[in-house]
Structure formats: structure tokens, C-alpha cells
Chain A
Amino acid sequence: MDLAVRIGSLALRNPVVTASGTFGYGDEYAHVVDLATIGAVITKTVTLEPRAGNQPARIAETAGGMLNSIGLENVGLERFRREKLPKLAALDATVIASLGGETPAELAALLEALGREKAIGAFELNFSCPNVSKGGAIYWTDARRLERTLRQLKPLTRAPLIAKLSPDVTSIAELARACEQGGADAITAVNTFVGMALDLDAAGHRLNRSTGGLSGPAIKPLALARCHEAARAVRIPVLGSGGIMSGRDALEFIAVGATAVQVGTASFIRPRAAAEVVDGMRAFLAARGIRRIAEWRGRLMEPPATPARRAPAARRAKPRNGRGASRTRCDGSGRSRARR
């Protein structure tokens, strides 16, 4: 079965990648997951300077999900380069490095330092951390800022740039388009949703910063809708993220237009989750006689057909940005649109 996909110039052997912050630097799990069987490993977001992260408590489980307020704890660029890169290079894995910055200039500095590293196949730009007071999701919800930043970053590396967006925005379509305009090679939709949990008995907040990012099965329907919205808005590939626990979940995101998917919280529960998602996808597709993942992609991008008195199907299929129906056509052949 052909599960190979492309994210810009980067070829992935299959569409399943591990989400940033949930799989360490790959080596932590390498003794239980054959990294060659998954599409790529996205490493924990690295920032220019080391970050200690937030005060405890950083985690609270909620119904069907978990809130986290890690606060981007990481070793910082210098030690990432010195300690992590050699290890990453030695892994039999495609590596996508996640970068975080409080300003465009910080991201530029990170890319100047890492942009030519051979061990890194692509960069994911974390425009969406909900747990930092500066340079987090809110700062990066400005479409013009995103576009300008990507324009500035694009020349710094030949590796693809993936813009990871927050779901807590008025229009993810608008932000995704701004990223595309600025030169992003792909969009990740989405990071965690801002949430809060209380301990009523103790009359207190369960997280130190009171709010955190919600992940896990609880967010899957929300994430699926955002992923769909983003995928309809842009031509570049979209990586779906949010609550993916199984091959079936992954295929839902791909059905609404995602090119690849990210497995996050699931790895905390089953460290082999990403590999299991690949197996599950394969089994589902095989049972339906589908031989290429591209045949599945975008299958359910269109809203369900409503009774006939509505406009004809062809016109309803017109995407919101009005750039031509052909891109998002879903004619049942499964070949929804061309990809770069």
C-alpha cells in the first residue's frame, strides 16, 4: 500500500507524525517504536534561550482529555544543537524540528542557526503555544504578522516550513491563507484549545496558571472542523492534529483534506500509538480495496448533500475563498485536488 505523502519538498513514508511536545526527541521512545515505521518525529519546541517552564501543577486530566500548562520547557538552541542534533541524526527517523519564538526575529535567529542542518527535514513553527505569557498563541493570531514573518523566514532555509496554528481564533482559514501567502509549505491544524479546570473541593484552580491547552479525544470534533476549514482554505498540505488515537481517527482528518496527521496525547497512553495509527490506517484502507492514501484524501471535504431544492452540487462545492471549485471538488473518485 502506498501511504507516502509530501510536505513541500519533504517526502514522508506515511502520513503519521508525532506531535511536538509529546514524543520528546524521538530517542526516548526509540526502544519501543521503530521510528522507521512512522512518517516523522516532530521534536519538542525549541526556543533561542532555555526555558524552565511553568510552575506546577502543569497537568490536569479532564473528561476525555487533558489540560497542560508546560510553558515550553526546553534546553534552548545551543544545547539542542550540541546534544540533540547528533542523536537525531543517528535515528532512523525523518525529523521535523519545532521552533518557538516570541518575535519574528527570534524565529529568524533559530532558522539561521538550524536552517542548513541535514538532520532536519522540515521546520514546524509553533505559532500557537497557549501557555506562555509572551509570543504565544495570542501574539500569533495576527494574519499580517504571520504573513510577514513567513516571508522573512522563508529565505533562511530550503527545508519546508510548517505553520502550526491555534484553534482559538475567529477564522483559521484566514490565518492559514496568510501563512500560505507568506510562503509556508504546510499548515498544522491545530494546537491545543485553551481550557480551565477547577478543584471545587479545594476551591482552587487545578493548573498553576489557571488555563492550559486541552488535548486528547475531547477535542477531536473541534480539531476536525478546524482542520477541514484550513484544508479548504489553502492549496498547501495541512497536517491534522487533535485527539487522534487510532487509524480511524487519522483517516477522518485525511478525509476532510489533511495530507498528514499528528499523534500527540495518545503517545502518553500508549507509547506505540503512532505506529499503531499507521497499522490501523493500513488495515482500514486495505479492507476497502484502497491502495493509495491519495485516493482517500479529501473524500469528505464537501458538506453532506442536502435535499434537492438547494443549489446544484457543483455550485455548493465552491470553496469559501472562491478560488475555483476544482481545487476542492469531491467527485467520488477521491482525487480531490492537486497538491504541490
Chain B
Amino acid sequence: MSATDEITRARAAGDPGGIVAPPAAWRQVDATVGAHRDAGAGHRCLELHVPRTFARPEPGQFVQLLLAPPAPVLLPRPMSVASVSASAGGLTLGFLYAAVGAGTQALAALSTGAVVHVLGPLGRGFPLDVAGTPVLVAGGRGVAPLLFAAEAFARRARRCELLFGARDAAHLVALAGATARLESAGGRMHLATDDGSRGLAGTVVDLLDRIAPRLRAPLVIHACGPHAMLRAVARWGLRHETPAFLAMESVMACGTGVCRGCPLPRSESARTELARRRDRIPSLYGSPEFAMCCTDGPVFAAPDLDWERIH
């Protein structure tokens, strides 16, 4: 059973925050850098070739990218998978990342053929089986895993609406490529920028307000972007009784659930539900208070998190 099937099943069974962890299929493998190019506004597109032992990631899942020594940082860096394709000897994984600190800057310096270590696939991806017109809401680099989702929807003969927002036109990262990928998946792109330099002048939530009434109900939202945006999208979903699934982030150490370092506060309703069903939930360590971003997520249903306490 795939992770997304698992999550759908768990949620259908009323499992808030997805308590039943999917069986671990991750491995740590050596990967070689393939194409690696600039994507504008401080972002880069990276391809990694992984061997056949690496399980095929699903949209919304991530990996832990570890630089080979000597590296300026100690811990691996979590990175969402943006594309998957078969290649000689295994898979080619695509990533879109921002070089923001020492780890991602060192990553940016790697050229084709360099070796990095990849641990994954990790976490639970977007539950693609939830019915409705897929509305994908992206902020900045969050667009990448959603394009991967759009392609998965296309294979299920479902067409997506992608709402892509950023602070300005330059931060609509890799827009041309994204549009092409989306269109070949039969999807439609809608744009918004805070400064109005491209598309609607406003946020993606403003865009959602405008587009949603024109789409065939029911809708189902899958979103990835900064937490402030995800909070707004989650609240929009809750307000409109539209299921919304949000790809969250946290600082991480292990990525596999053992360190307990990546907590996100659960909502009151999720806590109550957990407390009620405690005896039947075979959790890892699990507290009703916090979900772990890496294993309970990174994709969460809007009602499961306490958005007041998410920064």
C-alpha cells in the first residue's frame, strides 16, 4: 500500500493527523548529481540519480539530503521531491531549492557527477484520492512538489488548477518551466503577486477567493509554501468546508521520527480525538499535544493542526 493510500485510509477511518505511521520503506543511498541549474531569484533546480533500492517517492514526500564530507553542516537537509522519473539503474529525483544558508549554499556549489547521500522517501504525501476538483495552491518554491502532484493527478485523469503566488514576478520561481509542466498535465495556471507585477495583485488566498466560485464543486486543496500562506489557506478551507492539505516544514534532525525534534501543535479537536481513541492508536511515542512534521506529516489536513500556534 502506498503512503498516500495509507493516509487516505487512515483519515477515512477518522485518524486525525494520521497517527498510524506507514511502514518504513526509506533507505539511505549514494546519489549522483545530474543536471543542476539556476532557476532565478536565488533558487536552483537539482537532479539526483538514485539507485533502484530507493523506493519511488510520492508527491509531498521528502528526502534528507546529506552532503558528503567535508561539509560545512552536520545534519542532512530536508527537501521536497519535485519530480520523479525512471533512469538507467534507478530513478532521477528533481528538486527546487533556495540557497538560504550554509547547507543549501554548499549544495548549490556541487556540479554534475558529485555524490550526495539521500535518505528517503520520507513522510506522508498529499492524499491524492480525496475526491474533488484539485486546487493546488503554491507559494514561491512550494510550486515544485505541487507540479509533481499535478502530474500524478493527470495519471488519474484529473485536471488541476494551480494557483501560484509570490511577492513579485521574479519570485514566481521557474515559472516558464512550471507552466509547461502543468499544461502537459492538462492543468491551468493562475498567478498572483503581492506587488501586482504579475497576475492578480494580492495573495494566493485572494486568488482562491476569486477562482474558487468558478470551479466545479466540490474542491480539494493541496498547498505548499510559507507557513503564513498555509495558515491562510487552511483557514480558507475550514471556512468554506473545503478539505485542505498543507505541506508543512520544521527544523529537523533525523527525518524518521526518532529524535522528536520537529513538533507541530495539534488542534483541539485532534487532541480530543486522540485522547478518546488513545488505546487503539499504536503510535510511535506520540503525544496528543504534538504531531511530528517528519512522520505524521509533512502533509497535514487543515483541521488537524492548531494554526494559532504555527509560525
Interface residues of A (CB under 8 A from B): 21-25, 28-29, 31-32, 44, 50-53, 55-61, 64-66, 68, 70, 73-75, 83, 216-217, 265, 267-272
B286 proximal to A (CB < 8 A):
yes
New A-B contacts (4) at CB < 8 Å, excluding given A56-B265, A66-B74: A24-B258, A59-B262, A265-B253, A267-B254
Among B31-39, B141-149, B159-167, B277-285, the stretch that binds chain A is B277-285
Please, which residues of chain A bring their CB within 8 A of the CB of B250?
Answer: 56-57
The SS class assigned to the B binding surface is loop
What 5 A-B pairs have minimum CB-CB distances, sorted nearest first? A52-B289, A24-B258, A59-B261, A52-B287, A268-B254
Q: Do the beta carbons of A270 and B28 come within 8 Å of each other?
A: yes
Q: Which of the residues A22, A23, A61, A272 comes within 8 Å of B75, measured between beta carbons?
A: A61
**Binary A-proximity of B232-253 (CB < 8 A = 1, otherwise 0):** 0000000000000000001111
Contact residue among A28, A57, A59, A74 (Cβ-Cβ distance under 8 Å from B24): A28
B73 located at the interface, meaning its Cβ lies under 8 Å from any Cβ of chain A in the complex: yes
Whether the pair A53, B24 counts as a contact (CB closer than 8 A) is: no
Q: Which of B28, B282, B285 has the most CB of A within 10 A?
A: B285
User: In whole angstroms, what is the CA distance A227 to B294 when docked?
Assistant: 34
What are the residues of chain A within 8 A of B265 when measuring CB–CB?
55-56
> A105–B115 Cα gap in the complex (Å)?
52
B257–A24 CB distance below 8 A: yes
In the bound complex, CA of A28 to CA of B292 (Å): 15
Please tell me if the beta carbons of B263 and A58 are within 8 angstroms of each other in the complex: yes
CB neighbours (8 Å) of B253 from chain A are 59, 66, 68, 265, 268
Contact A269 B261 (CB under 8 A): no
- B69 → A minimal CB distance (Å): 10
Pairwise interchain contact A73-B28, C-beta atoms closer than 8 A = no
A75–B274 alpha-carbon span in the complex (Å): 13
Contact bitstring B125-167, A, C-beta under 8 A = 1, else 0: 0000000000000000000000000000000000000000000
Residues 21-55 of chain B: 1 if any A CB is under 8 Å from the residue's CB, otherwise 0?
00011111000000000000000000000000000
B94 at the interface (CB under 8 A from A): no
Query: Cβ of B198 < 8 Å from any Cβ of A?
Result: no
Selected contact of A75 from candidates B252, B256, B259, B286, CB within 8 Å: B286
B259 touches A61 (CB 8 A): no
* Beta-carbon contact of B251 and A60 below 8 Å: yes
Q: A31-B24, A53-B290, A59-B253 are in contact. Are A73 and B285 (CB under 8 A)?
A: yes
- Cβ contacts under 8 Å, B16 to chain A: none
By a CB distance below 8 angstroms, the chain A residues around B28 are 32, 270-272
Distance A50 CA – B74 CA, assembled complex (angstroms): 31
A174 CA / B260 CA spacing, docked (Å): 32
> Measured between alpha carbons, how far is A271 from B119 in the docked complex, in Å?
9
Smallest CB separation, B156 vs chain A (Å): 29
Known contacts A32-B28, A272-B28; is-contact A68 B259 (Cβ 8 Å): yes
Question: Are A28 and B257 neighbours in the complex by a CB distance under 8 Å?
Answer: yes
| B264 close to A (CB within 8 Å) | yes
Q: Which residue of chain A has its CB nearest to the CB of B255?
A: A268
B contacts, CB < 8 Å to A: 24-28, 66, 73-76, 117, 119, 250-265, 282-290
**B285 touching A75, Cβ below 8 Å:** yes
A32 to B64, CA, bound (A): 15
* B286: A residues at CB distance < 8 A: 75
Residues of A within 8 A of B76 (CB): 268-269
Chain B minimum-CB-distance residue to A46: B285
| Residues of chain B lying within 8 A (CB to CB) of residue A29 | 256, 258
- Cα–Cα, bound, A61→B71 (Å): 14
CB pair B74–A61 under 8 Å, yes or no, is yes
Contact A268 B75 (CB under 8 A): yes
Min CB distance, B247 to chain A, in Å? 17
List of A residues within 8 angstroms of B263 by Cβ = 53, 55-56, 58, 73
> Which residues of the other chain, B, contact A68 by a CB distance below 8 angstroms?
253, 259, 261
Q: Could you jot down 14 A-B contacts, CB within 8 Å?
A: A21-B259, A24-B256, A32-B27, A53-B260, A53-B287, A56-B250, A56-B251, A66-B253, A73-B263, A75-B287, A268-B258, A269-B76, A271-B119, A271-B256
**A228 and B27 alpha carbons, distance in the complex (Å):** 36
A268 touches B287 (CB 8 A): no
Q: Is the CB of A217 within 8 A of B74?
A: yes
Residues of the B chain whose Cβ atoms lie less than 8 Å from the Cβ of A25: 284
A44 touches B256 (CB 8 A): no
Are B284 and A24 neighbours in the complex by a CB distance under 8 Å? yes
Rounded to whole angstroms, the CA-CA distance of A216 and B284 in the bound complex is 24
Taking CB atoms, residues of chain A closer than 8 Å to B285 are: 24, 44, 73-75
With a cutoff of 8 Å between Cβ atoms, the chain B residues found around residue A56 in the complex are 250-251, 262-265, 290
Among B257, B258, B288, residue most surrounded by chain A Cβ atoms (within 10 Å): B258
A58 touches B260 (CB 8 A): yes
Q: CA separation between A55 and B306, bound complex, in Å?
A: 13
Q: Name B103's closest neighbour in chain A (CB-CB).
A: A61
A217 to B254, CA, bound (A): 16
Q: Which of A70, A83, A269 interacts with B66 by CB under 8 Å?
A: A269
Is there an interface contact between A50 and B261, defined as CB atoms closer than 8 Å?
no
A269 in contact with B258 given A32-B28, A59-B251, A59-B252 (CB within 8 Å): no
- A50 partner residues in chain B, CB cutoff 8 A: 287
* Residues on the A chain within 8 Å of B264, using CB: 56
Q: Shortest CB–CB separation between residue A84 and chain B, in angstroms?
A: 9
Assess whether B282 is in contact with A57, with CB atoms less than 8 Å apart: no
Asked, given contacts A57-B251, A61-B74, whether A52 binds B288 with beta carbons under 8 Å apart, the answer is: yes
Residues of B within 8 A of A52 (CB): 287-290
State A25–B285 Cα separation when bound (angstroms).
9
